[in-house]
Amino acid sequence: MSDVVVEFFIRFAKKIIMNNITFTMIKPDAVENGHIGAILEKINSAGFKIIAMKYTKLSLEKAQKFYEIHKDRPFFNELVTFMSRGPIVAAILEKDNAVEDFRELIGSTNPADAKKGTIRNLYATSMGENAVHGSDSNENAKIEGTFHFSDSEILS
C-alpha cells in the first residue's frame, strides 16, 4: 500500500475513534488572577491545537446546565455560583489522545494532590477554584464542545 493510502486510513481510523478533541475552560479564578496567557502557553507547549476559543461568561442557568451531572453533589451550588461569577475562556483542543493527555496536563481536581508543574498545581487555589476544566471522556468532550460552540465556530 502506498504511503498516501496508509495515511488516509490512519486519518479515517482516528476520526472513528474520535480521541482527538477535548474541551476546556479557564475558570473565573484563573481569569481574575491574570493567568489566561500562562495557561494558554502551557496548552500550546504541550502540543494541543486550539480549534475553537471564546472569552465569555456563564449565566447561573448555563453553569447549572453544564454541570448538571453534579446536581446532587454537596458542592453543586458553590460550583455553579463560582463558575458564573466572572468571565471564562472556553476552548476546544485537538491532539491525539486529547482527553487523557489534557487531564494529565491539568492535574488532580484537588490542587494539593496535583503533580508538580501541572496547571492546577501552578494556578489553582482550592479544590473548588481549581483554575481549569478538562473533559473526562471523548463523549463528554463532544457534548461540552457543542454546548459552547456552533459548527461554524470550530475551525480545525
Q: Which residues lie near Mg ion (CB under 5 A)? A: 136
Q: Catalytic residue among 35, 70, 133, 148, which? A: 133
Ramachandran angles phi, psi of 2, nearest 5°: -75, 160
The answer to whether residues 39 and 122 touch, using CB atoms and an 8 Å cutoff, is: no
Amino acid at 11: R
Task: Examine residue 109 and tell whether it contacts ligand UDP (CB under 6 A).
Answer: yes
**Alpha carbons 100 and 102: distance in angstroms, whole number:** 5
If the CB atoms of residues 11 and 70 are measured against ligand UDP, the closer one turns out to be 70
Residue 51 binds which one of Mg ion, ligand UDP, none, with CB within 5 to 8 A depending on kind? none
Closest Cα partner for 102 from 49, 146, 35?
Answer: 49
Choose from Mg ion, ligand UDP, none: what does 100 bind? Cβ within 5-8 Å by kind: none
Tracing cell 448538571 back to the chain, one arrives at 68
Shortest Cβ 149–ligand UDP spacing (Å): 19
Answer yes or no: 133 catalytic: yes
Burial class (CB in 10 A: 0-12, 13-18, 19+), 139: exposed
Q: Which does 121 bind (CB under 5 to 8 A by kind): ligand UDP, Mg ion, none?
A: none
Nearer to Mg ion, 15 or 70 (CB): 70
Interface residues with ligand UDP (CB under 6 A)? 70, 75, 78-79, 109, 127-128, 130, 133, 136
Residues with active-site annotation: 133
